[in-house]
Structure formats: C-alpha cells, structure tokens
Amino acid sequence: MIQRLALIGLGLIGGSLSLALKQRGLVGEVVGYSRQLQTRLRARELGIIDRPVDSVAEAVAGADVVFVATPVQAMAGVFRDMAEALAPNALITDGGSVKGAVVAAAKAALSTAQFAQFVPGHPIAGTERSGPDAAFAELFENHRIILTPMPENAADQVRRAEDLWRSVGAQVECMDVAHHDHILAATSHLPHVAAFSLVSALSRLEERYEVFRYAAGGFRDFSRIASSDPAMWRDICLTNRDELLPMLDHYLAELQQMRGLIDHRDGAGIEQMFSGAKAVRDALYRPVEPKTSAAEPASE
Ligand SMILES: NC(=O)C1=CN([C@@H]2O[C@H](COP(=O)(O)OP(=O)(O)OC[C@H]3O[C@@H](n4cnc5c(N)ncnc54)[C@H](O)[C@@H]3O)[C@@H](O)[C@H]2O)C=CC1
Ligand SMILES: O=C(O)C(=O)Cc1ccc(O)cc1
C-alpha cells in the first residue's frame, strides 16, 4: 500500500498508473504536478489526483513513491527540482521511453543516496493519445514493463518497483539500460519515425487530398502512431539518437533494396522479401483459431 504517491506529469502514462492504483485501493493520496495549471485541474476533475500542487518539490515532499511521467527531455529539470524535498526512503521511478538519457539526468541531479532510490522503468503499453483525458486504469494490464535496475539500487527498492507494476497487472522484466535503448530503437522508435515520415511524405504530394480520401485500412493501421504526441517523440529521437540512427540506416538500406527489386522488375526477389516478412509477422501475431468441437469438424 502506497501512503502518498507523487505524480509528476499527468498525462496518459502518469494518469493511467494513478487510476489503476486507485481502482484497486492501493494508494492513500495522490499529489500531482504538471507544468500547466489547466492539466492539474483537469487531472483532479478526472480523479487522477487528489491534490494538485504548484511545484515538483511540493509534490514529492512526504511521498513514499514518486513517479515521473513527463516527456524524456523534461526529466532532468524534474530531478533537479525534487532533490531538495525527497524523503530519504522514497522509491523514485519513471515511465520514460528512453533509459540512458534519463539515468544520466537522474545521476547529475540527485545525491548518491537519492540516485540509489531511483529504479528506472518503461511500460511497453500506450496509445497514440496523450494528456489526462487519454488515461485509463486498464492500460498496463497484461502488458510488459521493463525495469532497468542499476548496480546502485538496493534489492528492496527494485522489489518495490516490481511490486508496484505487478500490482496494476503488468508483467515485469529487467534489462540493462543500454540494451533497452538498443532494442526499443528497433521495436518502437523506428516504427514511429517510419509512420510519421510516411504521413509527412504523402501530405506533401500535390494530389494529397485524393491520396488520403482513398486510403484503405492498411494505411490506417500503419499510420495510427503518427497521431502520437510530436514533442514526446522529438524527445525520444534526440535522446536515443545513437541507437536510432543505425536502425534508421538499416531500414533505409532495406527500402533501397526493395526499390532496386521493383526497378529491375525482379518479381521473384520481391516475392521472396515479402514472404520472409509475412512469415515473421504471421508467427508474431498468430490469429486466434476459432474453437471447434471434435464432434463438429470445421467445414472446409
Ligand atoms: N504515450 C505512450 O504511449 C507512452 C509514453 N511513455 C513515456 O511516458 C512519458 C509520458 O508520456 P505520456 O503520458 O504519453 O505523455 P503525455 O503528454 O500524455 O503526458 C505528459 C505530461 O507531462 C507534463 N509535462 C511536460 N513537461 C513537464 C515538466 N517540465 N514538468 C512537469 N510536467 C511536465 C505534460 O503537461 C503532461 O501532463 C514519456 O516520457 C513517454 O516517453 C512510455 C510508454 C508509452
Ligand atoms: O501506440 C502504440 O502502439 C505505442 O507503441 C505506444 C507506445 C509509445 C511509446 C512507448 O515507449 C511505448 C509504447
């Protein structure tokens, strides 16, 4: 049971964690700070926080758990602002999509003892929506949450962070910080860059109105994440630049190869590349088989 949760950043991720804890009766009071007063008031209206406050320091004072859920580049300032007011045994954790930059920011801003209280985390759950109105209590259920514990962390702080996420239905996995940023560059950051770039490219075509008018479900599926928050994704691209650039080059090489196959009318080559990708995609997301009883074999 958390006595007082300090929530810094009251959008989709922070708001959803608070709603999930509240729904289960696992938190006493939620004190919230977000940059804009309007967001703080809206978060209270939605039941995400009990008490809006005017600063990070006010929010963390007396809190036993501090959760930072701002865009990644805002976190350095948040850590600096909390340093004076943190309780000595508070668990500090975050939900940032990039971990190396966040760990470096925490190390620079916090004392050695405070840095040991910080267990970095990243929920692999989200949507393209943002702000407090996008938050919902079920967001983390049956989703992975990656923790990237550091050698400085005491085992019981890591256990508290694991328990926090398990208590809202998430599956916790631990990973090294650098490995996290490498893998997430591929599975999350590159696809978002690809989606934003595709929509941007099409929007520059002279015939864009017709192009979007006749877009089918495939375009809708592929482009959904281009509705994500631009500032959040700017921060992710800049803070994970070193991992993202090689992934982007790898993808560009694949696109170039595909361009060459089409240019050379290499049907076999095109089909081979598509078949390989289809096999991987099918294996990853197997459709659910319809249930049939032994007495009633499925009709052909
Ligand atoms: N959106 C998603 O699907 C996911 C996002 N994340 C990460 O979680 C974090 C939060 O993302 P969302 O909740 O989606 O964003 P959001 O835009 O919904 O919420 C962010 C909140 O932070 C506030 N904020 C911005 N700068 C601030 C500052 N300097 N001080 C205090 N508050 C500030 C904003 O006003 C807003 O209330 C980000 O680091 C993001 O990378 C992680 C997993 C999924
Ligand atoms: O909307 C989607 O499908 C996402 O991929 C959400 C998301 C965004 C950022 C993350 O760090 C993790 C998950």
ipTM: 0.99
How many domains, the chain? Answer: 2
Average pLDDT over residues 59-65: 98
Residue in 123, 127, 116, 106 with CA at minimum distance from that of residue 165:
123
pLDDT score for 287: 75
Q: For residues 125 and 274, state if they share a domain.
A: no
125 in any annotated domain: yes
Task: Give the pLDDT of residue 86.
Answer: 98
pLDDT digits (tens, 9 = 90+) for 144-196: 999 999 999 999 999 999 999 999 999 999 999 999 999 999 999 999 999 99
Residue to mutate, 12, 97, 144, 188, ligand 2, most ligand atoms under 8 Å from C-beta: 188
Q: Where are the alpha helices (H) located in the chain, listed in sequence order?
A: 12-23, 37-45, 56-60, 75-82, 100-109, 112-116, 155-167, 177-184, 190-203, 208-213, 217-223, 230-239, 241-263, 267-284
The pLDDT of 37-48, averaged and rounded, is: 98
Looking at the fold, whether 146 and 18 belong to one and the same domain comes out as: yes
Q: Which amino acid, 15? A: G
Instruction: Give distance in angstroms: CA of 154 to centre of ligand 1.
Output: 27
Label the pairing between strands 144-147 and 171-174. Answer: parallel
> Are residue 95 and residue 183 in the same domain, yes or no?
no
Q: What is the band of 286 on the pLDDT scale with cuts at 50, 70, 90?
A: confident
Residue 105 is assigned to a structural domain of this protein: yes
Residue predicted with more confidence, 287 or 69: 69
The residue to mutate among 12, 66, 136, having the most atoms of ligand 1 within 8 angstroms of its beta carbon, is: 12
Measure 142 CA to ligand 2 centroid, in angstroms.
15
Q: CA angle 180-11-64, nearest 5°?
A: 75
Residues lining ligand 2, Cβ inside 6 A: 97, 124, 126-128, 188, 225
Strand duo 144-147 + 121-123: pairing: antiparallel
Query: Is the domain of 158 the same as that of 199?
Result: no
Give phi and psi for 117, each to the nearest 5: -85, -10
Host H or E run for residue 174? strand 171-174
Q: Is the pLDDT of residue 47 over 70?
A: yes
Domain that residue 159 falls in: 2-175
Q: Does residue 13 fall inside a structural domain?
A: yes
pTM for this prediction: 0.95
What's the rounded Cα separation, in Å, for the pair 109 and 8? 16
Q: Taking residues 68-82, what's their average pLDDT?
A: 98
Distance CA 150, CA 177 (A): 8
Q: Which one of 165, 232, 235 would you pick to mutate in the ligand 1 pocket, going by the greatest count of ligand atoms within 8 A of its CB?
A: 232
Residue 255: per-residue pLDDT: 98
- Looking at residues 111-131, what average pLDDT do you find? 98
- How much is the pLDDT for 291? 63
User: If you average pLDDT over residues 227-254, what whole number do you get?
Assistant: 98
Q: Report the distance separating Cα 179 and Cα 186, nearest Å.
A: 11
- What is the chain's mean pLDDT, rounded? 95
Domain membership flag for residue 293: no
CB 206 within 8 A of CB 178: no
Same domain, 242 and 254: yes
Same domain for 169 and 189, yes or no, is no
Ligand whose nearest atom lies closest to the CA of 129:
1
Instruction: Tell me what pLDDT residue 296 has.
Output: 45
